[in-house]
Amino acid sequence: MSDNVKRFEKLLVVEKAALLIIDIQERILPVINNHEAVVKNTIKLIKGFKVLGIPVFYTEQYPKGLGPTLQSIKDELGREEAIQKLSFSCSGAGELFEILMKRNLTQIVVCGIESHVCVQQTVLDLLANGFQVNLAADAVSSRKIIDYETALTRMRQHGAEVTTTESILFELLNVCATPEFKQISKIVK
């Protein structure tokens, strides 16, 4: 690409990105609309971020009541530890926001549940703190469709980039014909 051709400034860049998985926990998941797709796409994101060497963080909302993170997601995450929280927003999840700032991770890809509670409050707080948020619309959900749709609209109106799992992964790749491209192509199929 020539020096005078610009790229959209909000395109995801590996060096600035992180994945934040919010509260995909055993006891609440069965009542979430389209929860199978949320889990499947979250796992695709984890696998793709691992291929690209991008940090992944995940939270658990009051695990004593809602149970731990779904085992299939924990298995994919490996040794990563959950960040426990009682606040709906991940801004109250220990020093998570400070860690992201210190590591200059300014583009946060978000997935999880519920769209209109913990996800929405986290996204709005991330935006308020100067982060770019890319929301994987096919990896978030709520119990009710109206809550999901309303939350996506609100987050988009306040500056979140609403996109999809596959779009996020190929945006981070930027080019094809690399070993990472081949690995991610297999993940999204």
Residue 3 inside a domain? The answer is no
Tokens of 125: 């707080």
pLDDT higher than 90, residue 23: yes
Please check whether residue 66 lies inside any domain of the structure: yes
Model's pTM, two decimal places? 0.95
Tokens of 77: 């995450």
Question: Is 7 inside a domain boundary?
Answer: no
Domain containing residue 126: 14-188
Does any domain span residue 170?
yes
Model confidence pLDDT, tens digit, residues 74-117: 999 998 889 999 999 999 988 999 999 999 999 999 999 999 99
Q: What is the C-alpha radius of gyration for the chain, rounded to an integer number of angstroms?
A: 16
Q: Does residue 1 belong to any structural domain of this protein?
A: no
pLDDT at 3 over 80: no
Distance CA 70, CA 24 (A): 6
pLDDT in tens, 123-140: 999 999 999 999 999 999
In a domain, 9, yes or no: no
Residue in the structure block whose two tokens are 């796992």? 43
**Residue 98 belongs to some domain of the structure:** yes
The CATH number linked to 167 is 3.40.50.850
β partners of residue 18: 108
User: Hey, which residues are catalytic here?
Assistant: 23, 85, 118
pLDDT of residue 1: 57
Inside any domain, residue 8: no
Total structural domains within the chain: 1
